A and B are shown apart, each in its own frame.
Chain A
Amino acid sequence: MTSLLSSPGAPIFEGEATAISVRGLTKRYGKQLACNSVDLEIRVGKTFGLLGPNGAGKSSLIRMLMGLIPKDAGDVSILDCKELYASELRQKIGYVPELHYIYRWMTIQQVLRFVSPLYEHWDTDLADSLVDKFQLPRSKRVSALSKGMTAKLGLLIALAHHPQLLILDEPTSGLDPVIREDFLESVLQSHARSDRTILFSSHHVDDVERVSDEVGIMVQGRLVVRGSVDELRGRIKRIRVVLQDGRLPNRVPSSTLHQKLARREWTLTVDHFSVDLLRQIEVDNDPVSAEVFDLNLEEIFKDVVRGLDARTESAP
């Protein structure tokens, strides 16, 4: 299991090539902390899903990785390159932002003619096949395209130069379900054909769950939990404890992500669940009953977000 609390500087994945390595990455906008000392490593060939509510700091993190905004602190290495503005690095990355600002006065054909010479490994055949697959009208101006069409054009530009790393920042946001489905299908197909690394950020849990080998949940600028979907389901559980009349919960486990008390019913969502932890709760609280429930990724996501929000609100 991957620990977020691994010692700074030590590689999380010993002996494996990493596509993205981030240590203590911090970004502030005035007093607002957008990224709070984020540590993240993504192995080559893996798809990492970055989940988080709006304003969690996902886009800030990605924009720093892309070298679009300066970081305040921390180290970033992408494909063994620390100079994030380097042209050589940009040649290896495909980036799809949430909002596309492709030249609106250009036609699709003009966009492709403009972008293709900028990439050393631009694959005209692949670009043409994606134009056909996405049914993009070459003669139409970008300003006349629907949001879904523009997103597909953005994905085409990101894929057609065979990037080693594909960074998708909320790419399906605002798209209708059919286009979203097409879009994700294309991402999955592109991944299947290569050992490309993908960083996929979204607040759509089902999208992330579908495409990702590994998931990280980011809340309030911090990467709170990470692991494979199965791993998270295995280690994060909900425990429903019915307390005896007149009693309050005693000793909340330190790995509690979220808790809720409604009359005698105390519900906890805990990380690193074990039978020992359950026994400890029973010993500490002498409950009437204690049941353990499995959670799906969406429930885990919601409880992590609510838990951190509640802790922030109750903090002095």
Chain B
Amino acid sequence: MTVAETTGAQRRPALAQGSTSGRRRVRRSSPRVPFLFAVPSIAGLLLLMVYPTVYLLGLAFTESNLALPLQRWTGLTNFTDALQSTAFPGSISRSVVFAAASTVLVVVTGTALALLLRARGDRLGVLGVLLLLPLVTPPVMVGVAWKLMLAPVGGAFTGIWSHVGLDGFNPLGSSTGAFLTLLLIYTWQWMPLVTILVFAALLDVPRDLVEAAQLDGAGRIAVFHHVVWPSIRTTVWAALLLALVLGFKVFDLVVVVTSGGPGFSTMLSSFFIYRTGLQNSYEIGVASAATVIFVAVVSAVMAIVGIARKRAVAEA
């Protein structure tokens, strides 16, 4: 009998008898196995989240530019510089307005479109697929396409403006026009995401319940309110949170369509941060401080919406 065999033979009886040493071995080894399997993911998360976050904070509290990061500790100087700059404070409120307005537009139009598509049947069909095209188009291409269509010279809309007596009209030429145009392009691009999510949820609405309600004399609005909405409410709230995050993150469209102008009309925080850190001034320290402030604002908004969602879902 080898040593190994002896040990194994002794371990099995020990387990069966529930001896202290046997239990210790099992309890020490087996529960850790799944955790060890998770170690690569945890390590990845730490490297991809903790390291950049600490580095970002380091940049925010030091004199840093693109060429020479982390030169010396400057405390809150970068934060005050960002908050005292001409563009940043306005960009925060603009970002919040943009995210809120775009979320409402995307969710309302996306849900309405899903309801219309569901009324046609349980398949999206060719029309539905075509409606989803903006979602699969790269955002930069969406921006380029709209920029070309809105160009005052030779743009696709030039003839239309002329036809309705608006020669030389450029919707991107005024502050309000540029902001609204950006909002509409964004809605056109992301509305299909909500449509897909809500359409999928609508497929799970029990048919018999709808029919029963109809038999009881419920109209369309009553059926939607009492039968359909409770079934899709969770999905719509999830889509809303997603749309809100996307609304805060919008960047590509601003770069391509308006470059933050005219003036600061479409200068959203994400574009300000990019411009400060990587364009012209290369002030990575100020850009990092602005990022920290922006994250705090986004977190506060998300927390409020999160609480509202929790209450709404709980009341169901």
Partners in one complex: no
Task: Mark A residues whose CB is within 8 Å of B.
Answer: none
Question: Could you tell me which B residues sit within 8 Å of A by CB distance?
Answer: none
